[in-house]
Amino acid sequence: MEYYGFLHFTVNTFTDREWGYGDEDPAVFAPHQFEALAIASLCRAAGMAGLILTAKHHDGFCLWPSRHTAHSVRSSPYRGGRGDVVGELAAACRQVGLGFGVYLSPWDRHHPEYGREAYLDYYRNQLVELSTEYGPLFEIWFDGANGGDGYYGGARTERRIDRSTYYRWPEVHQLVRRLQPDAIMFSDAGPDCRWVGNERGYGAETNWACLRLAGMYPGGDYGQRLANGDPDGTHWVPAEADVSIRPGWFYHAGEDAQVKSLAALLEIYYQSVGRGCNLLLNVPPDPRGRIHPVDAQRLLDFRRALDATFGVDLARGATVVADSVRGQARVPGGDPAYAPAHLVDERADTCWATDDGVTTAEAVLSLPAARALDRVRVEEYIELGQRVEAFGVDAWVGGGWAPLAAGTTIGPRRILRTPRVRTDRIRLRITASRACPVLRRVGLFAAGEAG
């Protein structure tokens, strides 16, 4: 999916907090201009593939009329207590063609039973509501913040839990698998996609999609493994890079002048999507229930800049030859199913591959004419795993090959920014691979004015 949006929206939007204490009066939640379709349409126009909503943050307030608590929109003035932000946004996303996902905080600073057995039933009952009443969910987001001080039904105390055992995560995962079998579950321990290890939106130069999941749990301390992954991992758990367009995750009027610049968003893009991660960009609605005009304009500028750079693939029409093609011992020139020409056919179901045991190879793209370029996009055929450990890109300049860029892992995509060069030939060299390389695509681009 590459790029989708986060919507942090709850009582905090009206109390000017990042983390609610749990004692907020539902009456403060009054977004008088909330229009889910306007938000979804903006995010679709901005190029996002989906939206994830904070259905319940740490404060415990529910953006849907849960049957298991009065601490929800049912007790707020929003639509006279008959509103359902989750339902409205889910319907809007379906209407405009976006995926819809939910964030359900395991920590609840409002619930009197948090930290005890009874809360586990409450939490799972809410998960059932969200998983059965709002259509398909593309992602369910489990936060790693768990336990601490809170309201807890008036106790106003501190409650600590054993993060590794309290929630009985395997049972939660099984519940989601049964009710939403296609949903991706996120946490810093997966099980389906992992936190990248920072909230700056930056992925690592070396990024393996696999993790050794045994013993891992949400909220654990895994250091650099979250950024780099485990090359010998047991499970496919690719990285998701989350970041807010503002300094905070919730809207604060005092941050209206601190919305990330277009240059900052582009840098985030190249260090997340460009390093094989998915980018989850938070754009928090303001107290009206709308995306602030500054944020909205920045999103659209971001989309235009990406389109200006990646709208035209300069590799289109190139002729491709490789020094190794799978099956060449049996078929002169190799098996057509794995021909190097597939690198530029723009199809998702084709690839170039070498024979088993061949872990270094090169392919040369001869362009129809010399072209100026400064962006190279390379993709592995990840249906068959992530394999490449190191690669290089060269340009034919002045009658010889000149190094242009190099990288380590590729995964679903790697986008390299290079010096601007005018050339009619590009060479991709796979210099190390854990198994025979299997590549889907090589794309060549020239950055637009801002890209």
Are 272 and 332 members of one domain? no
Are 163 and 48 members of one domain? yes
Q: Alpha-carbon distance 262 to 166, whole Å?
A: 42
Give me the pLDDT at residue 315, please: 98
Q: Is residue 28 scored above 80 in pLDDT?
A: yes
The CA-atom distances, in angstroms, between 290 and each of 31, 43, 428 are 8, 12, 46
Total of domains in the chain: 2
Mean pLDDT over residues 393-419, rounded? 98
Q: Does residue 451 lie within any of the structural domains?
A: no
Residues 290-331 have pLDDT tens digits of 999 999 999 999 999 999 999 999 999 999 999 999 999 899
Mean pLDDT over residues 186-201, rounded? 96
Are 168 and 51 members of one domain? yes
Q: Alpha-carbon distance 229 to 211, whole Å?
A: 5
DSSP-derived secondary structure letter, 19: S
Are 203 and 349 members of one domain? no
Q: Does residue 450 lie within any of the structural domains?
A: no
Give me the pLDDT at residue 273, please: 98
Q: Alpha-carbon distance 57 to 17, whole Å?
A: 12
- Domain termination site, one of 310, 340, 369: 310
Q: Is residue 451 scored above 90 in pLDDT?
A: no
Are 110 and 208 members of one domain? yes
Mean pLDDT over residues 248-263, rounded? 98
- Domain termination site, one of 282, 310, 338: 310
Return the number of other C-beta atoms located less than 10 Å from residue 218's C-beta.
23
- In degrees, rounded to 5, the angle at the alpha carbon of residue 99 between the alpha carbons of residues 61 and 33 is 50
Report the CATH number at residue 161. 3.20.20.80
Are 78 and 206 members of one domain? yes
Are 276 and 383 members of one domain? no
Q: Is residue 194 scored above 90 in pLDDT?
A: yes
Q: Does residue 64 lie within any of the structural domains?
A: yes
By the 8 A CB rule, do 248 and 209 touch? no
Are 270 and 399 members of one domain? no
The CA-atom distances, in angstroms, between 43 and each of 61, 89, 202, 258, 274 are 25, 12, 21, 20, 20
Are 281 and 330 members of one domain? no
- Domain termination site, one of 310, 342, 368: 310
Give me the pLDDT at residue 144, please: 87
Q: Does residue 422 lie within any of the structural domains?
A: yes
Report the CATH number at residue 373. 2.60.120.260
Residues 123-154 have pLDDT tens digits of 999 999 999 999 999 999 999 889 999 999 99
Are 304 and 341 members of one domain? no
Give me the pLDDT at residue 145, please: 86
| Domain extent at residue 155 | 3-310
pLDDT-derived band of residue 450, with 50, 70 and 90 as boundaries?
confident
Q: Alpha-carbon distance 352 to 259, whole Å?
A: 42
Q: Alpha-carbon distance 158 to 156, whole Å?
A: 7
**Closest of 65, 64, 55 to residue 108, by C-alpha:** 55
Are 18 and 149 members of one domain? yes
Give me the pLDDT at residue 86, please: 99
Are 39 and 89 members of one domain? yes
